[in-house]
Amino acid sequence: MFSSEPLPRKRRTSACYECDRADFLVQKYPRKIAMVNTDRRKFLAASVTGVAAMVSGGTHSCHGGATAAAGARRFHMKFAPHFGMFRHLAGKDLIDQLKFAADQGFSAWEDNGMKSRPVKLQDRIAETMQRLNMEMGVISALRGVWNKVNFAGHDEAARREILAAMEEAVVVARRVNATFMTVVPGLADKKLPIGYQTAQCVDLLRRCCDIVEPHGLVMVLEPLNRSTNHPGVFLDRASQAYMICKAVSRPSCRILFDIYHEQISEGNLLPNIDRCWDQIGYFQCGDNPGRWEPGTGEINYRTVFRHLREKGYTGVVGMEHGKSQPGAEGERAVIAAYRAVDPEPKGRRR
């Protein structure tokens, strides 16, 4: 009877939604929950399930600053979920989703749709993440304008649209404490040879660098696979992105190495990561086929993440994928999948 009953907004008093909800339900249904120790903090410390699990059918723990409570330690790697990934367990409210993720041990977040959100909500997201000691990963710089010929072509109006979008993205990135901004350099111009397209792309990226670099921001170029998800894109592999970043030669232009896309486009993941290493600024992941959580496909993510850790990577890894199972069970499976592949700190092994 309790599983779908939300916490009234006025009863939210702490950074932990499920703990507040457990208190609320204990007060509202004292006889129904008589068999449970109603001192929820003592009970939660003794058991991962706790009162909140009893009333909602899931596992939960309190967030405690730099580390989560017993049973939900912080991940060693900065895995970054996104809004909607835990909506069944945390509810539809975006702030509650952040709090839930922090309770589960996640220390980072990313949001492709940040530019489209109201300014007041952006402010609330930034304030909440700062309070929860969470790091903002990528936001999309070109949402709504990337999916056309712009970087690879010579239409000056389309190129000016990109520069205007970058100006807008800088304002949003600074507001939400983001350093990295995803840039997909549009579609290929089929009328132009690849050499001319590449030169046009390099030129426009340098103009974008002039906009973002004074603010300490970094564009990360994301190659997308053509064969499964994005036919027609100009940038489709890390080796191409590496050449472009070298040509741009600016610290504000780096590679977003999406492991899912790269597995489809090129494979040979670890050698390609090594070859691109000096130009990689950010990673995202998803298993293949399916683009679901690690462990559902062919990629050995335990080995890949251990490789990143041993090379000294301490940045964010965006969880840009869906869930292999629906509902709350699918969300629990995502959390469990990342526990299974989370690498030990450098120098330590399981």
Q: Can you give the pLDDT at residue 349?
A: 47
Structure-token match 């070859």, residue found: 275
Q: Can you give the pLDDT at residue 275?
A: 98
Residue pLDDT tens, the chain, 350 long? 444 456 565 555 444 545 555 555 545 655 444 443 334 333 333 333 333 343 334 444 444 333 444 348 999 999 999 999 999 999 999 999 999 999 999 999 999 999 999 999 999 999 999 999 999 999 999 999 999 999 999 999 999 999 999 999 999 999 999 999 999 999 999 999 999 999 999 999 999 999 999 999 999 999 999 999 999 999 999 999 999 999 999 999 999 999 999 999 999 999 999 999 999 999 999 999 999 999 999 999 999 999 999 999 999 999 999 999 999 999 999 999 999 999 998 765 44
Instruction: Write out the chain in H/E/C secondary structure.
Output: CCCCCCCCHHHCCCCCHHHHHHHHHHHHCCCCCCCCCCCHHHHHHHCCCHHHHHHHCCCCCCEECCEECCCCCCCCCEEECCCCCCHHHHCCCHHHHHHHHHHCCCCEEEECCHHHCCHHHHHHHHHHHHHCCCEEEEEECCCCCCCCCCCCCCCHHHHHHHHHHHHHHHHHHHHCCCCEEEECCCECCCCCCHHHHHHHHHHHHHHHHHHHHHHCCEEEECCCCCCCCCCCECCCCHHHHHHHHHHHCCCCEEEEEEHHHHHHHCCCHHHHHHHHHHHEEEEECCCCCCCCCCCCCCCCHHHHHHHHHHCCCCCEEECCCCCCCCHHHHHHHHHHHHHHHCCCCCCCCC
Give residue-wise pLDDT tens across range 73-89. 999 999 999 999 999 99
Q: Where are the domains of the chain?
A: 1-60, 73-341
Query: Do residues 316 and 77 make contact, with C-beta atoms less than 8 angstroms apart?
Result: no
Q: Can you give the pLDDT at residue 44?
A: 33
Token pair, residue 19, equals: 């703990």
Give residue-wise pLDDT tens across range 149-208. 999 999 999 999 999 999 999 999 999 999 999 999 999 999 999 999 999 999 999 999
Predicted TM-score (pTM) above 0.85: no
Return the amino acid letter for 235. L
Q: Can you give the pLDDT at residue 25?
A: 57
Q: What's the gap between Cα 32 and its chain centre?
A: 39
Token pair, residue 249, equals: 């030669």
Q: Could you confirm whether domain 73-341 is CATH 3.40.50.10090?
A: no
What span, in angstroms and rounded, lies between the C-alpha atoms of 183 and 292?
A: 22
Query: Do residues 140 and 181 make contact, with C-beta atoms less than 8 angstroms apart?
Result: yes
Q: Can you give the pLDDT at residue 345?
A: 86
